[in-house]
Amino acid sequence: MSLARTLASSRVDLLRVAELVAPGSRVLDVGCGDGELLRLLTEERNVDGRGIELSQQGVNDCVAKGLSVIQGDADADLADYPNDAFDYVILSQTLQATRRPRAVLEHMLRIGRRAIVSVPNFGHWQVRAQLALRGRMPVTQSLAYSWYDTPNIHFCTIADFVALAHEVGATIDKSVALDPNGRPLRPLWPKWAWNLFGEQAIFLLHRGR
Amino acid sequence: MGDAAILANGALSQSTAPDSLTFRISPPAALVMDSGATLSPLTIAYQTYGALNAARSNALLVCHALSGDQHVANLHPVTGRAGWWETMVGPGLPFDTDRFFVICSNVLGGCMGTTGPASINPETGNPFGLDFPIVTVADMVRAQALLLDHLGIETLFCVAGGSMGGMQVLQWAASYPTRVFAALPIATSARHSSQNIAFHEVGRQAVMADPDWRGGRYLIEGARPSKGLAVARMAAHITYLSDSALHRRFGRNLQDRSARTFSFDADFQVESYLRHQGAIFVERFDPNSYLYMTRAMDYFDLAADYGGSLANAFKGSRTRFCVVSFTSDWLFPTSDSRALVRALNAGGASVSFVEIETDRGHDAFLLDVPELIETTRGFIDAAARARGIS
């Protein structure tokens, strides 16, 4: 989980995620890595932040920053949290590395009044091109793993995630697709264009219609 | 036996005249215990390292484990060995004695100067023995709180400890939430498991089966149940290690011989090692005190004191916690720590949790495990910044 994050080429998405969080709220960052987002939120947004991180190094880095972080993973540990324990539950670039993404998303929507999920887009044109033209599993700058050693076992496209959100009965309040430089794509673009040119997307959701 | 007898006397003299600072509580002041007993007079023996700052905000209480004592970071007055947490306490170490005022007191019921079963019962003029009231972890913490009152320390910067020391840390956070800024419970549990009670019962029965135990009156009758206590220590010591740690260190290697002797000598290195561990333990520990310490741990069940809900014990706590467990610790397994972390989270407390990968078993908290040192350093430094300690 942490590897998928630390090796991602660009983490400008963290800033975009942070913009979605209301100041002074309670936040759980699932797969918080070295705690950069939590620190950003604590310092810039005055949030009461908590984290879950799989790697010992990541947890140690977080603890050294004074953050409250628990060693664990999204698949196993979200079930332990009570309903509505947080204002926001954040899962940044991690959903594709979980064993049961649907269950993870459902827990997030249960634990938090809002969920913020960012996912790499497997529908990006570069990914499609590598598979279609070269006939090889895609390896891109942001998805820099070979098929045999990737921690990312449940890829989806932007369209796939929107469909999953609908299936679990969630409402998407906001969404933004980012280009490879982390710049937001124009919100008025048609969704198929997002799915083709967005390298990743960030969603703000809540449970219920 | 001659040397051991002298050393045993050395241990006994520590219980009555310790090489430590002491604080004495005299009537009408008294310690009211969970059992209903009232103890007074009462002596608490303790060591300190570093200096208390002007704001009195940098006090760090270290709580020792079952077989430990207050000699955290100085030569032990009986064995002459290094302090038991010299990896953690000292200048430049995580519990930096240049920054923090580190305190460690011998627990209530102990045998290194704090009042315990080897102390003189003022009513009889003889050692208490089994007339000493049963001690709980909460009683130990009450005694420590009296010591802090005496030292003029209202709020502790941090309470830290492993195993039984970790139980005291949890008890501190539950009993005195406003007096604890940060808490570091290591390799511990909020309740002693059935398996752990079972091991303790084996140890107690070994002590009590020794004919020299004399119904707990060995001090009065001039005897000493060293064999029973040594067996108890040997059995317990196995539980502090792990299968792979024992195998790596000893394997099936023979001790100072090239072949089996076809006898019950200590043919194997691991046997010789355990016998040695038993022998050095009885030099410095009072057998009755061992019974009381193990009982205190057995009785520890923090949730039971809070309506069956561990989360209630920490509800609304402002203390920042860092819980640490070790992968190969089967005495206080990670599942115990996770249960604790769940409860802390449910109670809304601020908690970090690290499971450290090591094959060194429960004893890892006492050893030079770099990940433990680094985690502790990070937690303490961040907490010190939040507390405004330079």
For chain B, say whether A203 makes contact (Cβ under 8 Å).
no
For chain B, say whether A63 makes contact (Cβ under 8 Å).
yes
Residue B263 annotated as catalytic: no
Residues in chain B: 390
Give the gap in angstroms from C-alpha B236 to the nearest C-alpha of chain A. Answer: 29
Single out the catalytic residue among B139, B286, B329, B363: B329
Residue A179 belongs to domain with CATH number = 3.40.50.150
pLDDT value of position A3: 30
How far is residue A73's CA from residue A83's CA, in Å, rounded to a whole number?
18
How far is residue B193's CA from residue A29's CA, in Å, rounded to a whole number?
32
Closest partner CB to A70 (pick from B352, B374, B379) = B352
Cβ contact, residue pair A66, B382, below 8 Å: yes
Top mean pLDDT of A29-43, A46-60, B3-17, B60-74 is at: B60-74
- Among residues B149, B155, B182, the alpha carbon closest in space to that of B57 is found at B155
**Where are the domains positioned within chain B?**
15-190+304-387, 197-294
Side chain identity, residue B28: P
Which segments within A85-163 are labelled E, that is strand? 86-92, 112-120
φ/ψ of B381, rounded to 5, equals -65, -45
* Domain that includes residue A180, residue range: 2-207
DSSP B19: S
Closest partner CB to A64 (pick from B338, B371, B382) = B382
φ/ψ of A24, rounded to 5, equals 75, 10
Q: What is the pLDDT of residues B212-270, one digit of tens each?
A: 999 999 999 999 999 999 999 999 999 999 999 999 999 999 999 999 999 999 999 99
Structure tokens at B386: 């939040």
CATH architecture of the region B197-294:
Orthogonal Bundle (1.10)
Chain A residues inside the 8 Å CB shell of B342: 80
- How many domains are contained in chain A? 1
> How would you label B179-189 residue by residue, b for 16+ Cβ within 10 Å and e otherwise?
bbbbbbbbbbb
Residue B309 annotated as catalytic: no
Q: What is the pLDDT of residues B87-124, one digit of tens each?
A: 999 999 999 999 999 999 999 999 999 999 999 999 99
Q: What is the pLDDT of residues A74-105, one digit of tens each?
A: 999 898 888 999 999 999 989 999 999 999 99
Cβ contact, residue pair B355, A56, below 8 Å: yes
pLDDT value of position B80: 92
Give CA torsion, residues B90, B94, B97, B103, to 10 deg: -100
State whether the Cα torsion B29-B34-B38-B40 is positive or negative.
negative
Residue B362 annotated as catalytic: yes
Instruction: Tell me yes or no: is domain B15-190+304-387 CATH 3.30.420.40.
Output: no
Single out the catalytic residue among B163, B226, B289, B337: B163
Q: Which of residues 74-113 of B touch A (CB under 8 A)?
A: none
How far is residue B240's CA from residue B116's CA, in Å, rounded to a whole number?
25
HSE-up of residue B110 (Cα within 13 Å, Cβ side): 31
Closest partner CB to B353 (pick from A61, A71, A85) = A71
Question: What count of other Cβ atoms lies within 10 Å of the Cβ of residue B203?
Answer: 23
How far is residue B130's CA from residue B139's CA, in Å, rounded to a whole number?
17
For chain A, say whether B370 makes contact (Cβ under 8 Å).
no
Single out the catalytic residue among B105, B242, B362, B363: B362
How far is residue B325's CA from residue B351's CA, in Å, rounded to a whole number?
14
Question: Residue B2: pLDDT band by 50, 70, 90 thresholds?
Answer: very low
pLDDT value of position B1: 39
| Cβ atoms of A159 and A177 closer than 8 Å | no
Structure tokens at B85: 């947490």
How far is C-alpha A14 from the geometric centre of its chain's CA atoms? 9
Mutation target vs A (from B315, B354, B357, B375; most A CBs, 10 A cutoff): B354
Chain B residues inside the 8 Å CB shell of A59: 352-354, 375
Q: Which residues, 6+ apart, have CB-to-CB distance to B214 below 8 Å?
A: B221, B223, B225
Chain B residues inside the 8 Å CB shell of A82: 346
What string of pLDDT tens digits covers the 209 residues of chain A? 333 333 344 467 788 899 999 999 999 999 999 999 999 999 889 999 999 999 988 998 899 888 999 999 899 989 888 899 999 999 998 999 999 999 999 999 999 999 999 999 999 999 999 999 999 999 988 788 999 999 999 999 999 999 999 999 999 999 999 998 888 999 889 989 999 999 999 999 999 98
pLDDT value of position A7: 32
For chain B, say whether A68 makes contact (Cβ under 8 Å).
yes
For chain B, say whether A162 makes contact (Cβ under 8 Å).
no
Mean pLDDT (chain A) is: 90
Q: What is the pLDDT of residues B325-371, one digit of tens each?
A: 999 999 999 999 999 998 998 888 899 999 999 999 999 999 999 99
Point out the least confidently predicted range of A94-98, B10-14, B243-247, B307-311. Answer: B10-14
Give the gap in angstroms from C-alpha A110 to the nearest C-alpha of chain B. Answer: 15
Cβ contact, residue pair A68, B351, below 8 Å: yes
pTM: 0.90
How far is residue B260's CA from residue B225's CA, in Å, rounded to a whole number?
31
